[in-house]
Amino acid sequence: MRARSWIEVSRSAIAANYDAVKRLVGPAVEVAPVVKADAYRHGALAVSRIVESRGARWLCVSNVDEGIALREAGSGARILVMADSLEASFCPMFEYRLTPVLHDLGEIAALDALGEPVDYHLKIDSGMGRLGTIAPAAEIAAAVQRARHARLEGLMTHFASAADYVGSQTADQCARFDWICAALESLGVRPPMRHLSSTIAVAYGRREAWHAMVRPGHAIYGYVSPVRTKGMSPVSLLDVRPALSWKTRLLVVKDFPAGARIGYGAQFTTPAPMRIGLLAAGYADGIPHRLSNRGRVIAGGQFAPILGAVSMDVTTIDLTNAPLLRPGDPVTLVGREDAASQDAQDLARAAGTISYSLLCGISARVERVYVD
Ligand SMILES: *Cc1c(COP(=O)(O)O)cnc(C)c1O
């Protein structure tokens, strides 16, 4: 393989992570893996095939195009489209048997106007202040009951601060959601499904928020964000491991004398004679520019600091601890070499960002290969 930069996605890790979620929530709770954004760059088609082969009957995507791609690839799962309730999306939604999440009561009438039998889920903004309706129960019930063709199948919500175990936002959101559901029930609106939980509410065992279905994304890829509050921390009940590793090659190895200025803006000057490696990947591949002079990679089984500015196609590292490496040798950005390992959370933390953003930011020019 001659790729300059590539990711390796472990099929068995994806399968084991899905199984771990399934085991934790038990047979009564549907697990709907979230494969939006090309499965956080792990590959939506491959990931969907793996989880469907292990019994997943639902998948979650962000928009209609992502849903269509899965259908065209032969997915037979129910596909919940979580953030695409534009009217123009309703026709393809029906044509490809996708299930829309609606966020506004006006959308119910618009969907109903298709004149076709179609199930939808309605999102309640229970306090996140983002997608979902904030209408009172009576108005929701009226809009739901006015529809002749569109059928409410599920009520859902999403947590803003699930990893915060000091503040009460999550408990408040649960209470608000339950209250709306109860009010709707008393008005005759009783959809078969309720769902609230993504990875964090699953991993830390917020069982009262599991109901009929959970929507894990991060966990499927092997991650659970740490609880944000020190001290009293619930432990993750999920045994998952990162499915993706990210590698690139040394392009050039160069010995500089002391006092050499390295890269754009001369952000690093060699304090002594130094062997420096130029990696064949930069911010155009998804290495955050914020890693300039921060963070590290793994070279020759040792951590090697990033030096100077990350540029578009090249990143410079300190090869002092790996003097034997030559151009063409692989270096690890995310993954393990011998005793040294770092995951997407470690690299994201060094960059001042989050693992989700780091994973989704691995660009299209980084080749993807699947391994067992
Ligand atoms: C992205 C998303 C999820 C998955 O979140 P993770 O933290 O990756 O598990 C679940 N539900 C909704 C509505 C989402 O947008």
- Together in a domain, 204 and 284: no
| Spatial CA neighbour of 120 closest among 68, 84, 159, 174 | 84
Q: Judge whether 291 lies within some domain.
A: yes
Q: Is 263 in the pocket of ligand 1 (CB under 6 A)?
A: no
Segment 112-139 shows an average pLDDT of: 97
Q: In whole angstroms, what separates CA 336 from the centre of its chain? A: 21
- Together in a domain, 306 and 176: no
Segment 170-177 shows an average pLDDT of: 97
Are 316 and 277 in contact, with CB atoms under 8 Å apart?
yes
Dump strand ranges (E) for 258-323: 261-262, 268-269, 274-279, 296-299, 302-307, 315-318
Q: What is the four-CA torsion angle of 124, 126, 128, 132, rounded to 10 degrees?
A: 10
Domain limit, last residue, from 180, 206, 221 = 221
Segment 84-113 shows an average pLDDT of: 96
Of residues 18, 22, 36, 40, which has the active-site annotation? Answer: 36
- Together in a domain, 216 and 296: no
Identify the pLDDT of residue 76. 97
Q: Is 218 in the pocket of ligand 1 (CB under 6 A)?
A: yes
Tokens describing residue 63:
């928009």
Are 31 and 40 in contact, with CB atoms under 8 Å apart?
no
- Together in a domain, 258 and 323: yes
- Together in a domain, 133 and 101: yes
| Spatial CA neighbour of 51 closest among 39, 40, 41, 63 | 39
Total number of domains in the chain: 2
> Going by C-beta distance under 8 Å and a sequence separation of 6 or more, which residues neighbour residue 157?
123, 124, 125, 126, 128, 132, 173, 177, 196
Tokens describing residue 253:
């190895």
Q: Judge whether 236 lies within some domain.
A: no
- 33 Cα to the center of ligand 1, angstroms: 9
The enclosing domain of 321 has a CATH number of 2.40.37.10
Identify the pLDDT of residue 238. 97
- Together in a domain, 265 and 183: no
Residues 204-220 as b/e (b if ≥16 CB within 10 A, e otherwise) read bbbeebbbebbbbbbbb
Identify the pLDDT of residue 228. 73
Q: Atom 13 (ligand 1): residue with closest C-alpha?
A: 158
pLDDT tens per residue, range 267-280:
999 999 999 999 99
Q: Judge whether 233 lies within some domain.
A: no
pLDDT tens per residue, range 175-185:
999 999 999 99
pLDDT tens per residue, range 19-33:
999 999 999 999 999
Q: Is 198 in the pocket of ligand 1 (CB under 6 A)?
A: yes
Segment 113-129 shows an average pLDDT of: 96
Q: Atom 15 (ligand 1): residue with closest C-alpha?
A: 82
The atom number, within ligand 1, closest to the CA of 215 reads 10
- 44 Cα to the center of ligand 1, angstroms: 15
Q: Which domain holds residue 119?
A: 11-221
The neighbouring-strand residues paired with 244 are 9
- Together in a domain, 271 and 316: yes
Q: Judge whether 231 lies within some domain.
A: no
Q: Is 42 in the pocket of ligand 1 (CB under 6 A)?
A: no
**pTM given for the model:** 0.96
Question: Where residue 157 falls among pLDDT bands split at 50, 70, 90?
Answer: very high
Are 260 and 18 in contact, with CB atoms under 8 Å apart?
no
| Spatial CA neighbour of 253 closest among 281, 275, 238, 273 | 275
The DSSP code for 221 is G
pLDDT > 70? residue 126:
yes
- Together in a domain, 42 and 175: yes
Q: Is 98 in the pocket of ligand 1 (CB under 6 A)?
A: no
The yes-or-no answer on residue 123 being catalytic is no
pLDDT tens per residue, range 287-304:
999 999 999 999 999 999
The DSSP code for 265 is G
- Together in a domain, 320 and 183: no
Identify the pLDDT of residue 234. 87
The atom number, within ligand 1, closest to the CA of 199 reads 9
Q: In whole angstroms, what separates CA 58 from the centre of its chain? A: 16
- Together in a domain, 184 and 310: no
Q: Is 296 in the pocket of ligand 1 (CB under 6 A)?
A: no
Q: Judge whether 111 lies within some domain.
A: yes
Q: Atom 3 (ligand 1): residue with closest C-alpha?
A: 198
- Together in a domain, 161 and 285: no
Domain limit, last residue, from 172, 189, 221 = 221
Which residue has tokens 């006006």?
106
Segment 76-96 shows an average pLDDT of: 96
Half-sphere exposure at residue 306, Cβ-oriented, CA atoms within 13 angstroms? 26
Separation between Cα atoms, residue 173 and residue 204, nearest integer Å: 17
Q: Judge whether 238 lies within some domain.
A: no
Q: Judge whether 89 lies within some domain.
A: yes
Q: Judge whether 286 lies within some domain.
A: yes
Helices and strands of the chain, counted as H and E runs: 11, 19
pLDDT > 70? residue 232:
no
- 197 Cα to the center of ligand 1, angstroms: 8
State the burial class of residue 259 (Cβ atoms within 10 Å of its Cβ: 0-12, 13-18, 19+).
exposed
- 116 Cα to the center of ligand 1, angstroms: 29
The enclosing domain of 203 has a CATH number of 3.20.20.10
pLDDT tens per residue, range 187-223:
999 999 999 999 999 999 999 999 999 999 999 999 9
> Going by C-beta distance under 8 Å and a sequence separation of 6 or more, which residues neighbour residue 60?
32, 33, 34, 35, 36, 79, 80, 82, 215, 217
Are 202 and 25 in contact, with CB atoms under 8 Å apart?
yes
The neighbouring-strand residues paired with 119 are 151
Name the residue of 177, 198, 202, 355 whose CB sits within 8 Å of the most ligand 1 atoms, as the mutation to test its pocket: 198
Q: Is 121 in the pocket of ligand 1 (CB under 6 A)?
A: no
Which residue type occupies 182? Answer: A
Which residue has tokens 């068995």?
12
Of residues 96, 221, 223, 264, which has the active-site annotation? Answer: 264
Tokens describing residue 85:
């309730």
Separation between Cα atoms, residue 200 and residue 170, nearest integer Å: 11
The yes-or-no answer on residue 264 being catalytic is yes
- Together in a domain, 116 and 157: yes
Long-range contacts, stretch 355-359, CB < 8 angstroms, 24+ apart = 355/218, 355/223, 355/225, 356/40, 356/218, 358/286, 358/288, 359/40, 359/41, 359/42, 359/221, 359/244
